[in-house]
Amino acid sequence: MQAYEKVSLARAAGRPTALAYIHGVFDDFFELHGDRFFGDDPALVCGIAELNGLSVTVIGLEKGGSTQEKISRNFGSANPEGYRKALRAMKQAEKFHRPVVCLVDTAGAYCGIGAEERGQGSAIAANLVAMMGLKTPVISIMIGEGGSGGAIALAAANEVWILENAYYAVISPEGAASIIWKDAGKVKEACEALQLTAADLARLGIVERVFAEKGDVFAALREALGQALPGYLALPAEKLTEQRYEKFRKVGRSEL
Amino acid sequence: MLKKSSFKRPNNALEGGEAAAEKKEMNEGVCVACPACKRMLFLDELSEALNCCPHCGHHLRLSARERIALTADEGSFAELWPGETGGDPLAFPGYADKLKKAHKASRESESVVTGTCRVGGSPCALFVMEGAFMMGSMGTVTGDKITRLFEYAARENLPVLGFTVSGGARMQEGILSLMQMAKISGAVGRHSDKGLLYLAVLTDPTTGGVTASFAMEADIILAEPGALIGFAGQRVIEQTIRQKLPEGFQRAEFLLEKGFVDAIVPRKEQRSVLGTLLRRHERGSAYAGV
Ligand SMILES: [Zn+2]
């Protein structure tokens, strides 16, 4: 399948969003609101849930279902307070040695006046430093759109997984088309060139697992998380952060 | 101290919209128009004034080598990993050609220069981004060199001083560029965990994935007057919200007001301010080897 078709599927109306996975994969989700500084960002949901008897912190970028909900959730584009809420949830998870599972589905972090005033760059940067040093396991799953900085802000993880028809890219294909090709019509070319599909990302060593989108995807994820998380939880903190560091350290490492 | 010979101007203007307007070179190599007040400035008087407009004070852009000459104690800069170049890992259309042009325009092998130096007598590890190399965009070599510098500094118990100028992650290296944000952040964290100082000076423009990672991760964040600093590009924001942006939006003064930079330091004061800050964080011999 062409990269462009994958991107279209990742964005398709009716595709399950983060809350569907939260309820489909985990049990007894209890949502936690607010960043304790500015407000509560509905584009990012987080809370505590159970998976095979394990307490888990779950964080998801939520696009919303109905038009009204999409608007109230800003189409899944989080503001700084969303990323700061996620950081609070991750720090809490670290305190209680709960694993963190992030569900990523966003066209990108929000680009607005308020987002800049409240430090979108600073918020994402803080998440990256904190996640790289987090003394509890983190697994991030790309379930739809993995839009650039807004996606990696929840994906500095021990493992990054992706669904077959999700994508993960440095810039939106539309952005790349207009900047590199200077032609908004070159979106298909941009999709190919960016190598953003699940298969591309697996080949490039960016994702550890690709999940087929057939049968019971929730059950497949539940099983995979149930297998992976206990192993990571058993690792001493240094091993855990070392593994995460090396995962990213090797990307683009020049031969010395 | 400063040598005029270190002020070689790059051949080309930076790429991109706003950037291209910055260096309108008139009378090839003799004078330029100040991008702010539009007055004609002779290159000689400009370099005398550290590339700041003598009329309105506007800070014109500097190359990485000019920065190093302005900042490091004379003769103290020792470059680490010079001449390193990456390939074209995704075989991205047009990228190989763009890299060639960037080498020519900037006379640098990549978008960051790394090394060690002394500032006001204090030793530090130094990275300086090069705006004339693909707008200072962060590719895998950029990310790798900055990561290695933080690792080196952590081993050698050195503070890191970094000057940023960047359009963000480099699109032509795709997801591999994006990963550098996490990679550098991991190295910044490890360096920080050793109790070592990271001092950043954000210069015009610092945007995108660089702002959303190591530019905003320093213990002390300084900015040059008037520097554009932000996550999203101004055109992208205008398209998103369908309105014009207010005057001064995303400028250094705006970030100071909003609480995201510690201080704005004019170029002529930087050397002394940086020297003082480095000295304040120097460890006595009792801490040596810790
Ligand atoms: Zn002027």
Shortest CA gap A143–chain B (Å): 17
Neighbours of B222 (CB within 10 A): 23
| Position A256 in a domain | no
Query: How many whole angstroms from B57 Cα to the centroid of ligand 1?
Result: 6
DSSP, collapsed to helix, strand or coil, labels residue A91 as: helix
Question: At a CB cut-off of 8 Å and minimum separation 6, what does B172 contact?
Answer: A180, B88, B90, B92, B94, B95, B98, B139
B142 touches chain A (CB under 8 A): no
What is the model's pLDDT at position B283? Answer: 76
What is the model's pLDDT at position B29? Answer: 72
DSSP, collapsed to helix, strand or coil, labels residue B199 as: strand
Domain around A97: 3-245
Radius of gyration of chain A (CA): 17
Domain boundaries, chain B: 62-283
Look up the pTM and report it: 0.93
Identify from B141, B150, B177, B179 which residue to disrupt to test chain A contact, counting A C-beta atoms within 10 A and taking the largest count.
B179
B208 to chain A: closest CA residue: A121
- The per-residue b/e assignment along A146-158, b for 16 or more CB within 10 angstroms, e otherwise, is bbbbbbbbbbbbb
Q: Do A111 and B189 touch (CB under 8 A)?
A: no
- Residue-wise DSSP of B113-138: EEEEEEETTEEEEEEEE-TTTGGG-B
Tens place of pLDDT for every residue, chain B, 290 residues?
Answer: 444 444 444 444 343 334 444 444 444 578 899 999 999 999 888 888 999 999 999 999 999 999 999 999 999 999 999 999 988 999 999 999 999 999 999 999 999 999 999 999 999 999 999 999 999 999 999 999 999 999 999 999 999 999 999 999 999 999 999 999 999 999 999 999 999 999 999 999 999 999 999 999 999 999 999 999 999 999 889 988 898 999 999 999 999 999 999 999 999 999 999 999 999 999 764 444 43
No. of helices (H) and no. of strands (E), chain A: 12, 8
| Position A255 in a domain | no
| Position A54 in a domain | yes
At how many degrees (to 10) do helices A173-180 and A187-194 cross? 110
A149, A248, A253 ranked by CB distance to B209: nearest: A149
Q: Do A133 and B182 touch (CB under 8 A)?
A: no
What is the model's pLDDT at position A246? Answer: 97
| Position A253 in a domain | no
CA distance A22 to A60: 8
Query: How many whole angstroms from B223 Cα to the centroid of ligand 1?
Result: 19
Shortest CA gap B176–chain A (Å): 6
Q: Look up the CATH number of the domain holding residue A99.
A: 3.90.226.10
CA distance A191 to A193: 6
Tens place of pLDDT for every residue, chain A, 256 residues?
Answer: 699 999 999 999 999 999 999 999 999 999 999 999 999 999 999 999 999 999 999 999 999 999 999 999 999 999 999 999 999 999 999 999 999 999 999 999 999 999 999 999 999 999 999 999 999 999 999 999 999 999 999 999 999 999 999 999 999 999 999 999 999 899 999 999 999 999 999 999 999 999 999 999 999 999 999 999 999 999 999 999 999 999 999 998 765 4
Contacts made by residues A30-38, CB under 8 angstroms, sequence distance 24+: A32/A85, A32/A89, A32/A92, A33/A85, A34/A85, A35/A81, A35/A82, A35/A84, A35/A85, A35/A87, A35/A88, A36/A88, A37/A81, A37/A84, A38/A80, A38/A81, A38/A84, A38/A118
What is the model's pLDDT at position B239? Answer: 87
CATH superfamily of B62-283: 2-enoyl-CoA Hydratase; Chain A, domain 1 (3.90.226.10)
| Position A254 in a domain | no
| Position A44 in a domain | yes
CA distance A42 to B198: 34
What is the model's pLDDT at position B284? Answer: 62
For residue A73 the two structure tokens come to: 């959730």
Number of domains in chain A: 1
Question: At a CB cut-off of 8 Å and minimum separation 6, what does B283 contact?
Answer: B157, B290
No. of helices (H) and no. of strands (E), chain B: 10, 10
